[in-house]
Amino acid sequence: MSITLGIDSVCYQHTMKSKQLDLQGFLDKAVAYGAGAVQMDPSWPSQGLDLGSESLKYLRHELATRSLKIVVKGNSGGLGSLANPPVESASEVEFFRTKIEAAAYLGSPVVRIVTRAYPYPTGHTKPPAGVARLEVIGWVIENLRKLTPHAEANGVRLVIENHGDLRIAEIERILEEIHSPWLGVQFDVLEQVAIFEDPGLAAERLLPHAFTVHWNDAYPKLSNSGFCVAPCLPGRGIIDLDGVIKKIASLSQDIFIFTAFQADSDTSEDVLVKAYLDDLDYRLNYVRSNQ
């Protein structure tokens, strides 16, 4: 197996949104910090990117000149849902088909998808009223069945991220029913916390199906309105990073590990990116030297 370390563009959401950092600056930071890959959406209007041929050609050139690989985000910013009845989802399925084709052009081996089958209201979605959860997951499966052959035809694997929208058992059901080598998981070490599932159990059951990983740590913050998780330096939060990295090192498939977090402010973004990449490198070397 090979393990490639990288940076997800979400790590620089503050500096990129405020125009302190542009696409080229982001890619340069990835190189400077020793990353071999980035994860990002090639359709990124605020950075002047879209899915047109000229934009994709430009992005491919910028990546190639820095010897960086890319893993494409199939959806971001609230776009693209597979949690609707198949009859109503034709435009959504087509949206993902265009991302698969863009990924093939950019040399991305993977397209990451968030299904948006959230069991609770979010800023972009709300659970359909009066519809059983099993039926919603059935919609996701039927929509993915339309996409998986297109992914195979383009030599691109689809991975569904555990993004707080799917329970562990629901992801396992999706994988089992579609049963395709072209469908896997992007495993985020923290996301199951949002739906009160054990992140250690999630790692045990989902990592065998993973081809990409989001690497982060956080601690809970309580308030009168509930709780949230706040990003922190690796090893200072609630995630058993040693256990996760040992499980990753035992896998046989090639895998990308991206540092991915939403910092509290722009001043902490660089600090956290470097800390997570250094931490990943250290933990991987330690595990390999003790195998």
* Residue ranges making up the domain that contains 222: 3-289
Asked if residue 214 has pLDDT above 90, the reply is yes
- What whole-number percentage of the chain has pLDDT above 90? 93
Please tell me the pTM assigned to this model.
0.96
Return the number of other C-beta atoms located less than 10 Å from residue 207's C-beta.
19
- Asked if pLDDT for residue 223 goes beyond 90, the answer is no
Question: Is the model's pLDDT at 22 over the cut of 90?
Answer: yes
Average pLDDT for 174-185? 98
Say if residue 225's pLDDT is above 80: no
The mean pLDDT of 144-159, rounded to a whole number, is 98
Q: Which residues pair with 220 in a beta bridge?
A: 229
The predicted pLDDT at position 47 comes to 95
Count of domains observed in the chain: 1
pLDDT at position 222: 84
pLDDT tens, 84-104?
A: 999 999 999 999 999 999 999
As a whole number, mean pLDDT of residues 56-78 equals: 97
Between these two residues, 124 and 177, which has the higher pLDDT value? 177
Query: Contact at 8 Å (CB) between 60 and 105?
Result: yes
Q: Copy the structure tokens of residue 126.
A: 């709300």
Q: What is the pLDDT of residue 192?
A: 95
Question: 39 with 7: CB under 8 angstroms?
Answer: yes
Task: Give CA–CA dist 92/71, Å, rounded.
Answer: 20
Residue 231 φ then ψ, to 5° = -65, 150
Amino acid 25: pLDDT: 98
Q: Could you tell me the CATH number of the domain that includes residue 109?
A: 3.20.20.150
Instruction: Tell me if 247 sits within 8 A of 1, measured CB to CB.
Output: no
Is it the case that residue 54 has pLDDT exceeding 90? Answer: yes
Residue 45 banded pLDDT, cuts 50, 70, 90: very high
Instruction: Give residue 37's pLDDT.
Output: 98
Residue 147 has pLDDT above 80, yes or no: yes
Structure-token match 């009160």, residue found:
196
The Cα–Cα gap between 149 and 156 comes to 10
Q: Is the pLDDT of residue 77 over 90?
A: no
pLDDT for the residue 261: 94
